[in-house]
Structure 1
Amino acid sequence: MELHDVWFVLIAVLWIGYFFLEGFDFGIGVLTRLLARDRKERRVLINTIGPVWDGNEVWLLTAGGATFAAFPEWYATLFSGFYLPLLLILVCLIVRGVAFEYRHKRAEERWQTNWEHAIFWTSLLPAFLWGVAFANIVRGVKIDKDMEYVGNFLDLLHPYALLGGLVTLTLFTFHGAVFAGLKTLGDIRVRARVLALRLGAVAVVLALVFLVWTQRDTGGGTSSLVALVVAVLALAVALVCTAAGREGWAFALSGVTIAAAFAMLFLALFPNVMPSSLNEAWSLNVTNASSSPYTLKIMTWCAAIATPLVLLYQGWTYWVFRKRIGTQHLADAH
């Protein structure tokens, strides 16, 4: 296997890790309006991700940086062609971080309500837009012979991409509901389980349609078909575990669903990194979009040293903050 193939796999792993972790993170943000009945319950939900949400976003920075270094042509075409949706995601992530930190700084009702609305919308929009973006990457976009995107924003909003957005939104919200059931106590835990069953049922249908559509249109091979089956089966079993009150297994399986679904997209995409819908010969692939072998070699050594340290630190953080919380653990708001 060539180094550019290795880095395609590593970048896929980084994106999958990001969506596994940030998926329930976005889901919790959406659930602050769908699940929580009052401000205290919203505080409980936000506190379940309070110690980890910023660490989860490190995976996005690493995935973006690795793409820039390993496949500069892919990075340039992607970020210029998808400028508006990626800018919207970036603005949402900035506002979302500010909302987490500023929400409790003042006691006024309007102040806190506005920041809580910001958390909801800046969780919902990226969860939807990431699906739109990746659906377009896999399906192919208007790339010319100079490796430049020549379409416009409306070209990205076709039925397949919109379905992809709905799939990621429902999957992430289901992932968040299962996480809420795993991390909370009392009535909110019971309601999270009920809501997770409803969201999961919708997600199964949407994900099945989207992944089968992807497999058919991309002509994916056996490996992508296996990933498709794993994703759908894992989601179905996650629903069974949720109904049985086995939140730990349900969360693990909802994570497997997200990992398998995005793995299927990358498997269907390979060896391309960004297909051209204008001419297949103009597509970006792991060969014509990659950096030099020397650059990839240096990156491989750096990744081999730094990645285990990051994984150990983040795993330790989750272990320290592993206990459940409920409204009884919160002091009254000032």
Structure 2
Amino acid sequence: MELTTIWFLLVAVLFTGYFILEGFDFGVGMLLPALGRDDRERRVLINTIGPVWDGNEVWLITAAGAMFAAFPEWYATLFSGFYLPLLLILLALIARGVAFEYRHKRPEATWKRRWDTAIFLGSLIPAALWGVAFANILRGVPLDADHEYVGGLVNLLNPYALLGGATTATLFLTHGATFIALKTVGDIRHRARTLAVRLGTATAALAVAFLTWTLTIRSSTAAIALAAGAAIALLAGLAAARARREGWAFTGTAVAIALAVATLFAA
């Protein structure tokens, strides 16, 4: 096995770890308005990811560092061509991190609602834009002789990329709902479990559409097998959620994310 192949696999593993771990962070943040009926419930939801959200972002830093070290042209093209989407992701992550730290500094309801909005948007924007970015990488973007991106933002917001963004957002929502059901008790757990099943149905439909479209653009035997595995894992997770097996439900969505990311790298 060549060294470049090893580095490519390492980058794939790092992005897979990032999306599994940060995926439920995004999901919890996006579900904050839906599941948090009052301040106490919102604090419960935030506390489920409080000890881990910042550590999970280290995976992204490590993945970017590995890309810079092993594939500098890939890194340069990605971060220049996708400058605006990646900047929006960065700003959203910063806003979300600040919101986690400052939300409890003052007792006023208006103060907390503003930071809750920052948490919601700081989770939704990256969850969708990561799908848009990876979909465009798979679809291909126009480059000049110096490997510089020559398109505009409108070129990045094509139907295939928007479908990718919707798929990742709903997948992370489902992943977050299973995580909340795993980490909470009582009424919040019941509502999270019910929501996970409903979201999972929409996620399955979007994922099948996106992966099918992906395989028409770039197809390989490994990608087809991984895509099928991702679909099976997601359906197994939904079945576990219906059976009130929260641990297995979370495992199912985590495996689905892992295999979906592997499909993108194998396509």
**One-letter amino acid matched to 1:126:** P
The reply on whether 1:238 has 2:237 as its aligned counterpart is yes
Secondary structure of 2:104's match? coil
**One-letter amino acid matched to 2:195:** L
Q: Distance in 1 between matches of 2:220 and 2:197?
A: 32
**One-letter amino acid matched to 1:7:** W
Alignment map for 1:84-123 (pairs within 5 Å): 84-123=84-123
Unaligned runs of 5+ in 1: 269-334
Q: Distance in 2 between matches of 1:104 and 1:73?
A: 43
Could you list the per-position Cα deviations for residues 270-313 of structure 1 after superposition, in whole angstroms to 9, with x for gaps in the alignment?
A: xxxxxxxxxxxxxxxxxxxxxxxxxxxxxxxxxxxxxxxxxxxx
Residue number in structure 1 paired with 2:192: 192
Deviation at 1:145, TM superposition (A): 1.9
TM-score, with normalisation over the residues of structure 1?
0.79
Q: Distance in 2 between matches of 1:108 and 1:5?
A: 54
Residue number in structure 1 paired with 2:56: 56
Alignment map for 1:104-253 (pairs within 5 Å): 104-218=104-218, 220-253=219-252
Q: Distance in 2 between matches of 1:186 and 1:103?
A: 25
Q: Distance in 2 between matches of 1:236 and 1:107?
A: 42
Residue number in structure 1 paired with 2:44: 44
Alignment map for 1:290-309 (pairs within 5 Å): none
Unaligned runs of 5+ in 2: none
Residue number in structure 1 paired with 2:261: 262
Deviation at 1:109, TM superposition (A): 1.6
Deviation at 1:209, TM superposition (A): 0.6
Q: Distance in 1 between matches of 2:34 and 2:164?
A: 21
Between Structure 1 and Structure 2, how many residues are aligned? Answer: 267
Could you list the per-position Cα deviations for residues 186-230 of structure 1 after superposition, in whole angstroms to 9, with x for gaps in the alignment?
A: 100000000000000000000001001101111x21100000000
**One-letter amino acid matched to 2:169:** L
Q: Distance in 1 between matches of 2:43 and 2:70?
A: 41
Deviation at 1:35, TM superposition (A): 1.4
Could you list the per-position Cα deviations for residues 58-93 of structure 1 after superposition, in whole angstroms to 9, with x for gaps in the alignment?
A: 000000111111100001010000000000000000
Residue number in structure 2 paired with 1:76: 76
Residue number in structure 2 paired with 1:315: none
Which is richer in helix? 2
Q: Distance in 2 between matches of 1:107 and 1:191?
A: 27
Q: Distance in 1 between matches of 2:138 and 2:131?
A: 11
- Structure index of larger Rg: 1
Q: Distance in 2 between matches of 1:198 and 1:9?
A: 34
**One-letter amino acid matched to 1:116:** D
Q: Which moved more, 1:96-105 or 1:145-154?
A: 145-154
Q: Distance in 2 between matches of 1:52 and 1:42?
A: 17
Secondary structure of 1:103's match? helix
**One-letter amino acid matched to 2:183:** K
Q: Which runs of 4+ in 1 moved over 6 A?
A: none
Could you list the per-position Cα deviations for residues 16-63 of structure 1 after superposition, in whole angstroms to 9, with x for gaps in the alignment?
A: 000000000000001101211111111000000000000000000000
Q: Distance in 2 between matches of 1:216 and 1:264?
A: 13
Could you list the per-position Cα deviations for residues 219-247 of structure 1 after superposition, in whole angstroms to 9, with x for gaps in the alignment?
A: x2110000000000111111100000001
TM-score, with normalisation over the residues of structure 2?
0.99
Deviation at 1:119, TM superposition (A): 0.4
Identity of aligned residues (%): 64
Q: Distance in 2 between matches of 1:267 and 1:144?
A: 25
